[in-house]
Amino acid sequence: MSDHAIEALLLEGRRFEPPEAFRARAALRDPRIYEDAQRDPEGFWASIARELHWFRPWTKVLEWAPPYAKWFVDARTNIAYNALDRHLGTPRRNKAAIMWEGEPGDERVLTYADLHREVSKFANVLKGLGVRSGDRVAIYLPMIPELPIAMLACARIGAAHTVIFGGFSAEALRDRINDAQAKVLITADGGWRRGNVVPLKRNADEALEGTPSIQHVVVVRRIGEAAAIHIREGRDHWWHRLMADAALRCEAEPVDSEHLLYILYTSGTTGKPKGIVHTTGGYMAGTYATTKWIFDLREDDVYWCTADIGWVTGHSYIVYGPLLNGATAVMYEGTPDYPEKDRFWAIVEKYGVNVIYTAPTAIRTFMKWGPDHPRRHDLSSLRLLGTVGEPINPEAWVWYYRYIGGERCPVVDTWWQTETGMILISPLPGITTLKPGSATRALPGISAEIVNEQGRPVGPNEGGYLVLTRPWPAMLRGIYGDPERYQQQYWNRFPGMYFTGDGAKRDEDGYIWLLGRVDDVINVAGHRIGTYEVESALVDHPSVAEAAVIGVSHDIKGQAIAAFVTLKEGNAPGTEAVETLKQHVVKKIGALARPEQILFTGELPKTRSGKIMRRLLRDIAEGRIMGDTTTLADPNVVEALKNRYEEEVGS
């Protein structure tokens, strides 16, 4: 980066102690919490879980029959009760739970009492549509208050939600609905994105042609006339009509601690997305505790997580964690650059945000736009900054610290996954000395290790695989409907340990540095995409014979998708073909999977044993071998390169 101040800070190898003003008031200040938890992890988790409401207490904290854990065995609880009802008899009753801002600038504030009422009413709506405990409800909504309301209404009656990110295509939506066998779909007439309408209902209509399990569709009116949608009598119902007739009271149903709470689909190493299963009690305790410790929320804080609820970050740290803590959360519908590049900072100023949680890719984008946008706003309310989703490069960390945090706010770099449900590696802002770029260490009660191929711990500064060696409360309970894949994906590689799919190293101080995925998963702007998913989408096109997809480094997104494609006889490579194939991937998966580059080749370079030479492809795509390539039209080029490469690097 050209900024000398940032360079200087990094060159110093500077460490950042918790600022005294911060530490003095932090909820956690005593480092002995790590040892306490280590001594008795189960007792540790039980004591935090006791801060929540249980209709029936547990008989045992943990039952561990690898690879299956049960937490808070035999207990009965309800996460919506804990997120809402538990606060109603307290001064939080009329406190803002969600302060929502729509992309066009419309606003809505829901107090805990308001949210409780809306959730209860919608729970009655779901019951009226025949939804029962254990049923699955699919949710395909923009970032509007109806999204958390729908999720909490499901949880209130023991139904499981499966939220599908609004950027997914009709086909992706269809596959997820079918895998979950959802009974009801909740969607909207559309969503706003940079002033344009995202046609959610039209995508849903297309998906619904192939989803026999869906009996009813509830449609939120977000756009109005301009959405020009079609309502199918008998199947489709307007949200506001159903709500107008819904009864106000709906008791939260006490469910077993291991009752299915939600399924969230994420990419893995095969073409088929995995339905990650989360259950109630442990997930509740885990998200409650981590929100409280890491974001250090105070009663009057305003907290803002900028993620989309379609991803796990939104589930755990917009909806469940903050509401379980009785916090006030900002929720924003749109993008950071609409209508101007200072929108985030305008929101921070307007709502007096104290704690902000965002992604490294966003921070790198802000760096590119320059510090004048944040400078135009009063950001003095900020007290703590968080990041998640991918490794944060030290330059971005320091930029965030300096230009957003005014050099007074700790930065919590939080590592976790859809599968882990809760943050597992992160600083505790009142305790931990920070090093830019390191997620520091495993939280109290969490056991992380870095191991070599043989599963043995590696030494300081040696790279290895990040594994988790003890169960944790919010861990996934499986892959929906696929126990074999669960075993094989996470537990077979290193027996007795959960394999994260991430590479990492520990430095001489024991700090953990994440090094990115070691499997076939690409992390594009913090979104997980499987190479095989994109390859399947490409070969699905009639012109494509074979495709290989790799992740290449990208300044802003961290990684971008590059595809090498061989066409079937009679199809011409060229810019038109590139566009067609990009469009095809968008149609099959969604815009988030659009390849950045497509290169044509007569044959994919393979080793003698038939393995695709992904390293060679990466070197070509990143321009190390050929310079800037947009399309590689000459079929012989890659073959020639392969030969040269084999000579130089060896296969």
Report the interface residues with ligand WTA, using CB under 6 A: 266, 311-313, 388-391, 413-418, 439, 500-502, 514, 517, 523, 528
Are 52 and 288 in contact by the 8 Å Cβ rule? The answer is yes
Q: How far is the CB of 356 from ligand WTA (least distance, A)?
A: 15
Taking each helix axis as running N to C, give the angle between helix 280-294 and helix 41-49, from 0 to 180 degrees, rounded to the nearest 10. Answer: 90
What residues contact residue 30 under an 8 Å CB cut-off, 6+ apart? 431
Nearer to ligand WTA, 433 or 607 (CB): 433
Which CB atom, from 417 or from 601, has the smaller least distance to ligand WTA? 417
Q: Measured from the CB atom, is 417 or 432 closer to ligand WTA?
A: 417
CB atoms within 10 A of CB 550: 24
Spacing of C-alpha 29 from chain mean position: 29
CB closer to ligand WTA, 158 vs 268: 268
Q: Which is nearer to ligand WTA, 311 or 564 (CB)?
A: 311
Which of residues 387 and 566 has its CB atom nearest to ligand WTA in the complex? 387
Minimum CB–partner distance for residue 286 and ligand WTA (Å): 13
Torsion of Cα atoms, 154 then 589 then 278 then 287, to 10°: -90
Strands 60-65 and 260-266 come out as unpaired
**Which residues contact residue 545 at a Cβ distance below 8 angstroms, ignoring those fewer than 6 apart?**
539, 566, 567, 568
Residue 360 CB, nearest distance to ligand WTA (Å)? 8
| 408 sits in which H/E element | none
450 within 8 A of 458, measured Cβ to Cβ: yes
Residue 29 CB neighbour total at 10 angstroms: 14
CB of 200 to ligand WTA, least distance (A): 21
Residue closer to ligand WTA (CB basis): 166 or 389? 389
Question: Taking the complex as a whole, how short is the minimal distance between the CB of residue 484 and ligand WTA, in angstroms?
Answer: 21
Rounded Cα gap, residues 330 and 497, in angstroms:
37
| Nearest distance, CB of residue 413 and ligand WTA, angstroms | 5
Q: CB-wise, 357 or 564, nearer to ligand WTA?
A: 357
Give me the least distance between CB of 334 and ligand WTA, in Å please: 21
CA atoms within 13 A on the CB side of 613: 23
Please state the closest distance from residue 389 (CB atom) to ligand WTA, in A: 5
Q: How far is CA 284 from CA 184, 421, 434, 473, in A?
A: 24, 10, 28, 8
Q: How far is the CB of 420 from ligand WTA (least distance, A)?
A: 8
State which residue, 239 or 303, has the beta carbon closest to ligand WTA: 303
- Side chain identity, residue 303: Y
Q: Who's near 269: CB < 8 A, 6+ residues apart?
A: 489, 501, 519, 520, 521, 530, 532
- CA–CA dist 276, 264 (Å, integer): 5
In the complex, the smallest distance separating the C-beta of residue 357 from ligand WTA, rounded to whole angstroms, is: 11
Measured CA to CA in angstroms, residue 427 lies from 406, 419, 556, 622 at distances of 19, 20, 24, 34
Nearer to ligand WTA, 437 or 573 (CB): 437
Q: How far is CA 486 from CA 279, 476, 482, 483, 491, in A?
A: 15, 10, 7, 5, 8
